[in-house]
Amino acid sequence: MSYRLSILDKSLIPEGADASAALRNTLALAVRAEQLNYHRYWFAEHHGFTQLASSAPEVLAAYVLARTHRIRVGSGGVMLRHYAPYKVAETFNLLAALAPGRVDLGVGKAPGGLPPSTRALQAGRAGASTPNFDAQLAELDGFLSGTLPEGHPLSDAVVMPKAPAGLERILLGASVESAELAARLDWHFCYAGHFDGDPDHIARAFDAYQRGSERSPLLAVVAFAAETAEAAERHVGTLRIYKVRLDNGQTVNLPSPEAAAEYARQSGAAHYTVEETRPSVLSGTADQVHGQLDLLQQRFGIEEFVIDAPVADFAARLTSLELLSDGA
């Protein structure tokens, strides 16, 4: 392969199991991914979803870093709107001090949960408005690099421990604006193709990023392999994304029409629409999936794919991980 493979894990809870079982599966998959030479293992951040156990990616990262030796581990990503950039900088500097050269700080803009979870996460925060994400990310970057301007109101706050070399910063997004922001701050950029796999959208975001950065962007994809194409289709053929668009212009991707309607209700929206789409899924045998990855690599010059396999069945996910590795 002429590209690297990495993993995004949401710690899906299998039917009839609990969060402890899901997290044991996550650890086993991460250990196996290292053995198979995958490059990174990321944990998503989700709140209030009964089928997902990954509410605190930094905790999972610490747990897995302690039980692996080479693979890079981190967040895919921290939902920055909920947190003080200073605290995020402290947390990931500490992780990077514990495992030098192996920690990734991936940051996203989405809420990662339904409105009650967002309200609970932000309870007690001064001001009721949504934080300005661009300003938050710039502040986080300043804390990490020690470059907050002298006139900044928090410029005298010292982040400890200091960031060791090798802490990688990645902005996750699916828009030209996110790509431009990543380039402006000199962060890596990972396009969220597992939510929006439209090739034209990918091309525009990559062009925007590469106009301002010499780095190669990463591409997240939904990819799942099985021994036969039919077996793969049984696992991922019913996958759908439901995009709810509120009357204030906000859009959120959710896993079911019921979740979309509930999100709109809890947001207090008078009017909303729900769009059902099938995510761009690369599925089939290992050769078939690699063929699809090869086409994306040839079109966009991808040097690294981040694979999301939204399948709760542990044995099936392990099989896919092993089939796709090919030495990674």
Query: The whole model's pTM is what?
Result: 0.90
DSSP code string of 226-237: -SSHHHHHHHHT
Closest to 165 (Cα-Cα) out of 93, 61, 77, 70: 93
Q: What is the mean pLDDT of residues 85-105?
A: 97
Q: What burial class does residue 218 get, using C-beta atoms within 10 Å of its C-beta: 0-12 exposed, 13-18 middle, 19+ buried?
A: buried
Residue 327 reports pLDDT greater than 60? no
Give the residue-averaged pLDDT of 163-167.
84
Q: Which of 103, 131, 112, 105 is nearest to 46 (CA)?
A: 112
pLDDT of residue 117: 85
Q: What is the DSSP string of 38-83?
A: -SEEEE---BS-TTB--S-HHHHHHHHHTT-SSSEEEES-EEGGGS
Reported confidence tier of residue 254, pLDDT bands at 50, 70, 90:
confident
pLDDT attached to residue 71:
98
Question: Is residue 127 scored above 70 in pLDDT?
Answer: no
pLDDT of residue 131: 79
Which segments of 99-206 are extended strands (E)?
103-108, 168-173, 188-192
What is the residue-wise DSSP string for 74-108?
A: EES-EEGGGS-HHHHHHHHHHHHHHSTT-EEEEEE
Q: Which of 215-224, 252-261, 275-284 has the lowest mean pLDDT?
A: 252-261
Query: Residues of the chain with pLDDT > 70: what percent?
Result: 97
Mean pLDDT of the chain: 92
Q: Give the separation between CA 149 and CA 96, rounded to whole angstroms.
A: 24
What b/e sequence results for 294-323 when a residue is b if at least 16 CB atoms lie within 10 Å of its CB, and e otherwise?
eebbeebebebbbbbbbbbebebbebbbeb
Q: What is the pLDDT of residues 190-223, one digit of tens each?
A: 999 988 889 999 999 999 999 999 999 999 999 9
pLDDT digits (tens, 9 = 90+) for 17-58: 999 999 999 999 999 999 999 999 999 999 988 889 999 999
pLDDT in tens, 285-320: 999 999 999 999 999 999 999 999 989 999 999 999
Decide if 244 contacts 257 (C-beta within 8 A): no
CA torsion, points 22, 25, 29, 30, in degrees to nearest 10?
70
Neighbours of 111 (CB within 10 A): 21
Bridge partners for 275 per DSSP: 243
Nearest 5°: the CA angle 264, 247, 276 is 60
For β-strands 251-254 and 241-246, DSSP reports them as antiparallel
What is the C-alpha to C-alpha distance for residues 168 and 100, in angstroms, rounded to an integer? 11
pLDDT at residue 284, rounded to an integer? 96
Mean local confidence (pLDDT), 52-78 = 97
Task: With beta carbons less than 8 A apart as the criterion, state whether 19 and 53 touch.
Answer: yes
Q: Which pLDDT does position 134 carry in this prediction?
A: 96
pLDDT of residue 125 exceeding 80, the answer is no
In this prediction, residue 295 carries a pLDDT of 96
CB atoms within 10 A of CB 127: 7
In 3D, which of 104, 102, 48, 109 has the Cα closest to residue 83?
109
